[in-house]
């Protein structure tokens, strides 16, 4: 039976495709796994590309007491939504990002500290995202009036090959001025350079006084690899790509097979 090489004091999990299923369901087994962590005095925290209030529905069933890392760490809040920190994209970087997405024909969603803005409420994935985060977007034809308050920009397209090229282009063009990575095959997220899931590990390290080496992270997408690298141990979901899986310490079942709970039970709790 594989066992962690050291004590784990905190588990940090991605949300979509990891903690919840494809249909955004938090299963009873996942809830029990988090409860079991609490009984072992192991803290549990979540991070997501979602805005913090799009994670609020998870606070009560999981009895969360740790900071929530929304926007891949771009905005940290307490469970009562009290702001801890917000990392905004510099105005010039936001403008360059929006221009690059437009040049590639990729629609852009913009998230500020207060709002989610889209150019077309009927466009692909908008209704699904609204159902997921439980609040509607604001439709606008221009982002000029929010350029100084942008925390995340998301490019959206169902052309997976285009999105891989766009993610690579954004990473090259923006360099150290921003973090750009796929959060889903159809989403590329652009945030402040310090707003990435590896940064979340180090922020929690500072806030909770728990060394990164005593943290285990769980995720399924390329943007989760940075937190895999930053933490002591990690678990990749079964549906993750090979490159994501090989970046993790262990691999569990898919999100549709209670992979989160199974991974916690086996690799953290030591259960068969």
pLDDT in tens, 58-100: 999 999 999 999 999 999 999 999 999 999 999 999 999 999 9
**CA dist 52 → 36, 49, 145 (Å):** 25, 9, 22
Which residues face 217 on adjacent strands?
12, 234
- The reported pLDDT for the residue numbered 184 is 87
**1: pLDDT strictly greater than 50:** no
Q: How confident is the model at residue 10 (pLDDT cuts 50, 70, 90)?
A: very high
Q: Which CATH superfamily is domain 10-86+195-268 in?
A: HAD superfamily/HAD-like (3.40.50.1000)
- The reported pLDDT for the residue numbered 5 is 45
Tokens of 203: 């922020």
Mean pLDDT across 127-139: 95
- The reported pLDDT for the residue numbered 143 is 97
Mean pLDDT across 41-56: 96
Contacts 24+ apart (CB under 8 A), 31-37: 31/61, 31/62, 32/261, 33/260, 33/261, 33/264, 33/265, 33/269, 34/62, 34/63, 34/264, 35/63, 36/264, 36/265, 36/269, 37/11, 37/264, 37/268, 37/269
User: Which residue has 């609020």 as its token pair?
Assistant: 56
Chain region(s) in the chain for CATH 3.30.1240.10: 91-191
Residue 240: partners with Cβ closer than 8 Å, 6 or more residues away: 219, 220, 221, 248, 251
Q: How confident is the model at residue 271 (pLDDT cuts 50, 70, 90)?
A: confident
Mean pLDDT across 117-128: 97
The CATH number that domain 91-191 falls under is 3.30.1240.10
Q: What is the pLDDT of residues 219-242, one digit of tens each?
A: 999 999 999 999 999 999 999 999
pLDDT: is 99 or 49 the higher one? 99
**167: pLDDT strictly greater than 70:** yes
Chain region(s) in the chain for CATH 3.40.50.1000: 10-86+195-268
Q: How confident is the model at residue 183 (pLDDT cuts 50, 70, 90)?
A: confident
**6: pLDDT strictly greater than 60:** no
Q: How confident is the model at residue 3 (pLDDT cuts 50, 70, 90)?
A: very low
**28: pLDDT strictly greater than 70:** yes
Mean residue pLDDT across the chain = 95
């Amino acid at each position: 039976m594989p066992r962690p090489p050291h004590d784990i004091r905190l588990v940090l999990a991605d949300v979509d495709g990891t903690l919840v299923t494809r249909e955004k369901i938090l299963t009873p087994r996942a809830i029990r796994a988090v409860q079991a962590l609490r009984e072992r005095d192991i803290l549990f925290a979540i991070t997501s590309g979602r805005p913090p209030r799009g994670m609020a529905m998870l606070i009560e069933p999981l009895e969360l007491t740790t900071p929530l890392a929304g926007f891949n760490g771009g905005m940290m809040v307490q469970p009562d939504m009290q702001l801890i920190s917000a990392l905004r994209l510099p105005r010039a970087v936001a403008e360059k990002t929006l221009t690059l997405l437009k040049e590639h024909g990729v629609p852009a969603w913009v998230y500020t500290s207060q709002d989610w803005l889209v150019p077309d409420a009927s466009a692909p994935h908008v209704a699904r995202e609204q159902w997921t985060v439980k609040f509607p977007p604001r439709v606008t034809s221009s982002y000029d009036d929010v350029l100084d308050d942008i925390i995340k920009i998301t490019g959206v397209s169902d052309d997976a090959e285009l999105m891989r090229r766009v993610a690579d282009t954004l990473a090259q063009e923006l360099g150290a001025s921003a973090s750009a990575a796929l959060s889903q095959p159809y989403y590329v997220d652009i945030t402040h350079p310090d707003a990435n899931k590896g940064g979340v590990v180090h922020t929690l390290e500072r806030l909770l006084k728990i060394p990164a080496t005593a943290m285990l992270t769980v995720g399924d997408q390329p943007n989760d690899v940075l937190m895999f690298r930053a933490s002591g141990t990690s678990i990749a979901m079964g549906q993750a790509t090979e490159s994501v899986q090989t970046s993790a310490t262990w691999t569990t079942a898919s999100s549709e097979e209670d992979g989160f709970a199974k991974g916690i039970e086996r690799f953290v709790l030591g259960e068969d």
